[in-house]
Structure 1
Amino acid sequence: MGWLWAIIVGFVLGLIAKAVIPGKQHSPLWLTTIFGIIGAVIGNALARGFGIQETPGIDWGRHALQLAAAIVIVFLGDMAYTSARGGRKRRA
């Protein structure tokens, strides 16, 4: 069940990150989900480093760090994906 939650959280974080980042992202949905999963893992590691991994109630600090990490990972990952695919194609 842990992998299912990781995919769901990664999907949601990836979509929110794509919505927050200005402009159009060119990475496919499956790759955005992977970027979101990576962002969640990095956000959890940061929360653990700051000592806020577990709090009573909703873990707003951990969730904010997950989202911030997902935004950075989606942004950098999309840049890498776009450059690996040959850059942006210009229309005539």
Structure 2
Amino acid sequence: MVSSSSLLSALVIGVTVGLVGRLVLPGPKAAPVWLTVALGVAASQLGSITARLVGVKPDALMPGSVAQVGFAVPVVVLAVIAAGRLQPQDGAVARVDRVEQRGGGRPRSGGTLRGPA
């Protein structure tokens, strides 16, 4: 059973890691703030559960907090980096716009969108 203190610490650590991770990481911020905070809280809670399964007592604040931070930081960092890489490049948006201008993306002269077979 997860104690209320570990739930509260997971919430505090998750929100803190989510907000700080969002502010500290360089580059485009494609991931919304709510997503980084939610992932931080979820990963922090997973760290708390994992620490409890390993045998850390629920009253031990330091090992549980280290596990929470240890889970939350990599998850938030990976989420922000992955969301930044999933954004379409300017050229991809321009290609989509050109296809829509030619006729809504429908192929001309009986061809297919993928090109000749």
Corresponding position of 1:72:
74
Give per-residue Cα distances to partners, 1:15-58, cap 9 Å, x unaligned: 24x179653462221111111112112211221122114125xx
**TM-score, with length taken from structure 1:** 0.65
Q: How many residues align?
A: 81
For the pair 1:33 / 2:30, whether they are aligned, the reply is no
For the pair 1:23 / 2:26, whether they are aligned, the reply is yes
Which structure 2 segments of 5+ residues have no match?
Answer: 90-117
Give % identity: 22
Structure 1 vs Structure 2 CA RMSD:
2.9
**Higher Rg of the two aligned structures:** 2
Highest RCO, 1 vs 2 (Cα 8 Å, sep ≥ 6): 1
Q: Report the residue type matching 1:65 in the other structure.
A: A
How many Å apart are 1:84 and its aligned residue? Answer: 2.0
Identify which range, 45-54 or 72-81, moves more after superposition.
45-54
